[in-house]
Chains A and B, each alone.
Chain A
Amino acid sequence: MQEVPAIRFENITKAFGTKVVANKNVTMDIQKGEIMALLGENGSGKTTLMNMLSGIYRQDEGQIYINGEEVQITSPKDAYDLGIGMIHQHFKLVDVFTAIENIAMGMDKKETGSNKDITEKVQEICDKYGFDVDPKKKVYNMTVSEKQTLEIVKTLYRGANMLILDEPTAVLTPQETDKLFAVMRNMKADGKSIIIITHKLNEVLAISDRVAILRKGEYIDTVLTAEASVQSLTDMMVGEKVELDIDRPEVEAKEKRIGVSHLTCLDKYGVKALDDVTFDAYGGEILGIAGISGSGQKQLLEAIAGLQRCEKGSSIVYYDNSNNVETEMVGMTVSEIKKMGVSLAFVPEDRLGMGLVGSMGMSDNMMLRSYKKGHSPFTDRKGPRDLALRVKDELEVLTPNVTTPVRKLSGGNVQKVLVGREIASEPTVMMAAYAVRGLDINTSYTIYRLLNEQKKKGVAVIYVGEDLDVLLALCDRIAVLCGGKLNGIVDGRTATKEEVGLMMTHLNEEKQEVQANG
C-alpha cells in the first residue's frame, strides 16, 4: 500500500487574465522526507503552482491535500499553519529590519516570547543544520547568501516541515550551492519534504530523489532521478529534441575597443561599488563578467554607458580604430557619448524598468533610441514603426500588435524587443546584463546566437552572467569581480567552474591562503 503523500495537487488550474493560463489541470504528489525537483522552463508555471501552495495565489480550480486531507490555503498564514514554508526567489525580507525582526514579524508574541528567546531558538536551529546568522545585522547589509540563509532559518523557525525553494542557486557561487545542498540533505534526513524549483539540470541530478516536470503549465511526468539524464530531462522539459551546446566561434581579427583603467564608482549610499578596476575589451570577442550578484556588475556597465558617476582617476577610453581616434568617456553623458559617434548597445538587467517603457507598445519603444533625430519639434513615427515590424518578424516576437504595451508580453518576447532594438543601432560595443534570466531555453539560445553574430561582425560584446556553465561555454575571456574589485581574467576555454567560483568569493591573496589550508 502506498504511503499518504505529504502534499497532493489535484486538477489545479490557474489563469492570469483571459489569455495566460499558468497552470492547467496539474495533478502531482510529494512524499514525506524526499527532495523533489520541480523542473520546467521559465514560464512553465512552476512558481505559480508553488505560490498557490504557499498562499500567495489562489487557484481557480482544483484541490490541495496535505497529509491526505483537503485544505483551503487562502493566505500565507494558512500555509504556515499547515507547516508549509516557501523561500521565494526574490527574498521576502524587510531591508531596514534586523535578522531577528524579520523572523519575529507576523508572529504572536505569546508564541515566540521576547527577541532574546527568538535569538536562542534561532541559534538552536543554526547549530542543528549548520547555518550561520547574525541576529542584529540589518538585511540591507547582508550578502545574497546571508539573506537566503535567513529566509530558510525563518521558515524553519516557524516549524515548517515542507519547504519550497524557488531557484535557490541562481544567485549562489558553486561553493555556496554545495553548502546549501548539504543543509538540504540534513533537513531531508530530519524527515522534511523539500521541493526545489530549478532549471539547472546538473543540480537536479545532484540533489533530488525525484523530478516532476512541467511544460507550458501542464504536468508532464514524474521520474526517479536515478533513472534520468540531462538529455532525457531536457527533452521532457522542452517537448522536443534540443541541441544543448553553445557555439563559440573564433574571430581572428580582434582589435582593442574599450580600455577601462582604475575605474572606481560609489553606490547610492556612498560605498565603493567598484574599486580600481582595469581591463580591456576587444572587438570580435565576448568578454564575460562573473561575480556574485551585487559585486559591481551594474555599476561597471552603467559607467561604460555613461550612466554612473566615476570617481577621480577613473578612465574609460573608446578606441575608434578606423579613424584612429581615442575618446575618454568618463564624465560624458549618454547623449554626449552618442554625439561623439560611439555606438553603444546596452541590454540592462531591468528590462521593463530601464530598457523599455512597459506601458508603451513596441513601436514607441523603438522610438526611444531614435526620437531625437531630425530638427522637427515633432517625432517621426513611421521609422520606429517599420523597425518594430521588422524586429517582430525577424525575432519572431509574439505580440498581437506593435502598439500593444510591452508589459503585457511574456519575458522572452520582452527581451527580444529590447535586444532587437539595441542590435538595430549597429553597435560597436554591446553590453548585456543577465540577458537570458527568466527566458525559456529556445529564446536563450536565440540570444546566444544573436550575441555571437555581433561578435562575428567585430562588435566588442560584454556579457554579465550568473550561470557559470553558460559563461564558460559562451565567452572568450571571463573577468571575475569580487566585492567591487577585479579578481583576475581567465580564459573561457580552459577555466573551470570551481576556479571561477572561488575567485568570486575570495580575493587573490585570500585564495592562496584557502588553497594552502585546504
Chain B
Amino acid sequence: MFAAFFHRAVLQAISLLFGCTGEILTEKSGNLNLGIPGIMYVGGISGVIGGFLYENSLESKDDANWFLAIFIPLICCLIGSLIMGLIYCFLTTTLRANQNVTGLALTTFGVGIGKYFGGVLIKLVHADVPSVTVSTTSNFYKASLPIAQDLGWFGEMFFGYGFLAYTAIIIAVIAAVFLKRTRPGLNLRAVGENPATADAAGISVTKYKYLATCIGSMIAGMGGLYYVMNNASGVWSNNGLDNIGWLAIALVIFTVWKPNFAILGAFLFGALSIAPYYLSLYEIVDINLRTKPFFDMLPYIVTVIVLIFNSLRKKRETQPPEALGLSYFREDR
C-alpha cells in the first residue's frame, strides 16, 4: 500500500521537479521567468506533435522503433522549449524588457500554442472526444526496467518509472552540484547576485543569462513532455499544465533555490496532491463531487502557507538572488 502511494506520489512529482529545477537555474541567473507554464505547454505539445507525426508515418503501430519513438518527441520538446527560452531571453536580456510582463506574455503565448495546435491535431484525427492520443510513443516513455516487477514493493518504489523520472532526478542532482561546486556555477550565481560585479570580474553576463535561461527552459519543457507521456498516457486534452507550471515556480521559493531540496519538495507536493484519494480508499475522508473541489484546492492552499512561512525566514542564505528580476545594462550609472 505504501509502495503504491509512494509510486503515485513520485509520478505526480516529476513534472514539478523538472519545472522547479529549470526555474532554479533560470532564477540563479537573475531572470525571473514567469513563462514556465507556457514553456511546459509548448514542451508538451511539441512532444505530442513529434510523437503524432512519427506514429502516423508508421505502417502499423507494431513497427515502432523504441529509439525513434523516444528520440523524436524528446527532440521536438527540447527545440520547442528552447525557442521559448530564447524569446524570453532576447526580450529581457538583450532588449531589457520587464521580466514579469515578458513572462506573463510568454505564458499566454505558450498556452495559446499548446491549445491551438492541440485543437488542430484533434481536428486532424476527427476524434469524437476533444483529445488526441499518442499511446504508442507514450508506452515507450512509460516503460520501466523489467526488474521492477521481480522486486515486489521495492521494485515498485524505486524501479517502476519511465526513464524521464530518473532523468529529472539526475538533472536536479547535477544542477545542485553544478551550482555549489563548479566554477561556472559560481559564475552563474555571481551573475544573479550582482551582474555588475560579475561583469567586472570578466564573466559574460549575457552569455550566462542566455545559457541558464535556455537550459532551464528545456528542462522545464521536459516537465510538460513527462506530464503528457507519463501522467496523461499520451492523451493531450488542452489543460492541466498551467497549474503545474505555477506550482513549480512557487516550489522554487520553498526550496530556497536549491535543486537538491527540489527533489524532496516536489515529492512532498506530489504526495500531497494524491493523499486525499488514498485516504478516501480507507474511508478516512469522503471524496464525492461535492467535496472534490475542496480537495483539489489543497495544493494551492498549502502553497500559500508555504509562501507565508518562507517570508517569515530572514536568513541571508535563504534569500532570492539579489538581482532577481532586474535587467542589467553595463553603462548604467
Listed in ascending order, the chain A residues whose CB lies under 8 Å from chain B are 16, 54, 56-58, 75-77, 80, 86, 88, 92-97, 101, 104-109, 140, 154, 268-270
Query: Chain B, 311-331, contact with A by CB distance < 8 Å: what is the 0/1 string?
Result: 000101100001000000011
| Chain A residues closer than 8 Å to B202, beta-carbon distance | 75-77, 80, 106-107
Q: Can you give 8 A-B contacts (C-beta < 8 A)?
A: A75-B204, A93-B197, A94-B194, A94-B198, A97-B193, A105-B201, A106-B187, A268-B314
| Chain B residues closer than 8 Å to A16, beta-carbon distance | 331, 333
- The minimal Cβ–Cβ distance linking B171 to chain A, given in whole angstroms, is 22
Contact between chains at A95 and B199 (CB < 8 Å): no
Given contacts A77-B202, A94-B197, contact A105 B331 (CB under 8 A): no
| Chain A residues closer than 8 Å to B199, beta-carbon distance | 56, 75-76
Query: Using a CB-CB cutoff of 8 Å, which residues 288-333 of chain B contact chain A?
Result: 314, 316-317, 322, 330-331, 333
Bound Cα distance A275, B186 (Å) = 37
Whether a CB of chain A sits under 8 angstroms from the CB of B190 is yes
Contact between chains at B331 and A56 (CB < 8 Å): yes
Bound Cα distance A57, B329 (Å) = 11
Contact between chains at A56 and B186 (CB < 8 Å): no
| Chain B residues closer than 8 Å to A106, beta-carbon distance | 187, 190, 198, 201-203
| Chain B residues closer than 8 Å to A92, beta-carbon distance | 194, 196-197, 200-201
Bound Cα distance A154, B202 (Å) = 12
Bound Cα distance A93, B198 (Å) = 8
CB closest chain-B residue, reference A76:
B200
Beyond A95-B194, A96-B322, A154-B201, 4 additional pairs, beta carbon < 8 A: A77-B204, A94-B198, A104-B186, A105-B198
Bound Cα distance A57, B198 (Å) = 15
Query: Using a CB-CB cutoff of 8 Å, which residues 11-27 of chain B contact chain A?
Result: none
Contact between chains at B204 and A95 (CB < 8 Å): no
| Chain B residues closer than 8 Å to A108, beta-carbon distance | 183
Contact between chains at B200 and A56 (CB < 8 Å): yes
| Chain A residues closer than 8 Å to B198, beta-carbon distance | 94, 105-106
CB closest chain-B residue, reference A103:
B201
| Chain A residues closer than 8 Å to B194, beta-carbon distance | 92-95
Bound Cα distance A359, B219 (Å) = 39
- The minimal Cβ–Cβ distance linking B182 to chain A, given in whole angstroms, is 8
Classify chain B: how many residues form its interface, as a range. 20 to 34
Selected from B187, B196, B314, B316, the residue in CB contact (under 8 A) with A105 is B187
Query: Chain B, 245-289, contact with A by CB distance < 8 Å: what is the 0/1 string?
Result: 000000000000000000000000000000000000000000000
Given contacts A56-B331, A57-B331, A106-B190, contact A88 B314 (CB under 8 A): no
Bound Cα distance A154, B197 (Å) = 12
Bound Cα distance A114, B330 (Å) = 30
- The minimal Cβ–Cβ distance linking B319 to chain A, given in whole angstroms, is 8
Contact between chains at A94 and B190 (CB < 8 Å): yes
- The minimal Cβ–Cβ distance linking B296 to chain A, given in whole angstroms, is 39
| Chain B residues closer than 8 Å to A77, beta-carbon distance | 202, 204
Bound Cα distance A104, B322 (Å) = 19
| Chain B residues closer than 8 Å to A58, beta-carbon distance | 331
Contact between chains at A88 and B200 (CB < 8 Å): yes
Bound Cα distance A488, B193 (Å) = 39
Query: Using a CB-CB cutoff of 8 Å, which residues 185-215 of chain B contact chain A?
Result: 186-187, 189-190, 193-194, 196-204
| Chain A residues closer than 8 Å to B330, beta-carbon distance | 56-57
Bound Cα distance A86, B196 (Å) = 13
| Chain A residues closer than 8 Å to B190, beta-carbon distance | 94, 97, 105-106
Given contacts A57-B331, A75-B204, contact A140 B316 (CB under 8 A): yes
- The minimal Cβ–Cβ distance linking A127 to chain B, given in whole angstroms, is 24
- The minimal Cβ–Cβ distance linking A74 to chain B, given in whole angstroms, is 10
Among B201, B314, B322, B331, max chain A CB count under 10 A is at: B201
Contact between chains at A105 and B203 (CB < 8 Å): yes
Contact between chains at B200 and A54 (CB < 8 Å): yes
| Chain A residues closer than 8 Å to B204, beta-carbon distance | 75, 77
Contact between chains at A96 and B187 (CB < 8 Å): no
CB closest chain-A residue, reference B192:
A94
- The minimal Cβ–Cβ distance linking A150 to chain B, given in whole angstroms, is 12
| Chain A residues closer than 8 Å to B189, beta-carbon distance | 94, 97
Contact between chains at A96 and B331 (CB < 8 Å): no
| Chain B residues closer than 8 Å to A95, beta-carbon distance | 193-194, 322
Among A57, A96, A106, max chain B CB count under 10 A is at: A106
Bound Cα distance A75, B201 (Å) = 10
Bound Cα distance A93, B190 (Å) = 9
Bound Cα distance A268, B193 (Å) = 19
Bound Cα distance A88, B201 (Å) = 12
CB closest chain-A residue, reference B330:
A56
- The minimal Cβ–Cβ distance linking A48 to chain B, given in whole angstroms, is 9
Bound Cα distance A311, B193 (Å) = 32
- The minimal Cβ–Cβ distance linking B98 to chain A, given in whole angstroms, is 15
| Chain B residues closer than 8 Å to A268, beta-carbon distance | 314
- Top 3 A-B pairs, shortest CB-CB distance: A106-B201, A77-B202, A92-B197
| Chain A residues closer than 8 Å to B331, beta-carbon distance | 16, 56-58
Bound Cα distance A16, B330 (Å) = 13
Selected from A93, A96, A101, A104, the residue in CB contact (under 8 A) with B317 is A96
CB closest chain-B residue, reference A48:
B333
Bound Cα distance A88, B194 (Å) = 14
- The minimal Cβ–Cβ distance linking A51 to chain B, given in whole angstroms, is 9
Bound Cα distance A108, B201 (Å) = 11
- The minimal Cβ–Cβ distance linking A351 to chain B, given in whole angstroms, is 14
| Chain B residues closer than 8 Å to A94, beta-carbon distance | 189-190, 193-194, 197-198
Bound Cα distance A381, B215 (Å) = 52
Contact between chains at A269 and B314 (CB < 8 Å): yes
- The minimal Cβ–Cβ distance linking B181 to chain A, given in whole angstroms, is 10
- The minimal Cβ–Cβ distance linking A126 to chain B, given in whole angstroms, is 20
Given contacts A16-B333, A95-B193, A96-B193, contact A105 B200 (CB under 8 A): no
| Chain B residues closer than 8 Å to A140, beta-carbon distance | 316
Given contacts A75-B202, A76-B200, A269-B316, contact A105 B333 (CB under 8 A): no
| Chain B residues closer than 8 Å to A86, beta-carbon distance | 200
- The minimal Cβ–Cβ distance linking A432 to chain B, given in whole angstroms, is 24
| Chain B residues closer than 8 Å to A104, beta-carbon distance | 183, 186
| Chain A residues closer than 8 Å to B316, beta-carbon distance | 96, 140, 269
Bound Cα distance A88, B197 (Å) = 10
- The minimal Cβ–Cβ distance linking B39 to chain A, given in whole angstroms, is 28
Bound Cα distance A269, B316 (Å) = 8
Bound Cα distance A86, B202 (Å) = 12
| Chain A residues closer than 8 Å to B203, beta-carbon distance | 105-106
Bound Cα distance A119, B333 (Å) = 33
Query: Using a CB-CB cutoff of 8 Å, which residues 209-247 of chain B contact chain A?
Result: none
- The minimal Cβ–Cβ distance linking B192 to chain A, given in whole angstroms, is 9
- The minimal Cβ–Cβ distance linking A167 to chain B, given in whole angstroms, is 15
CB closest chain-A residue, reference B199:
A76
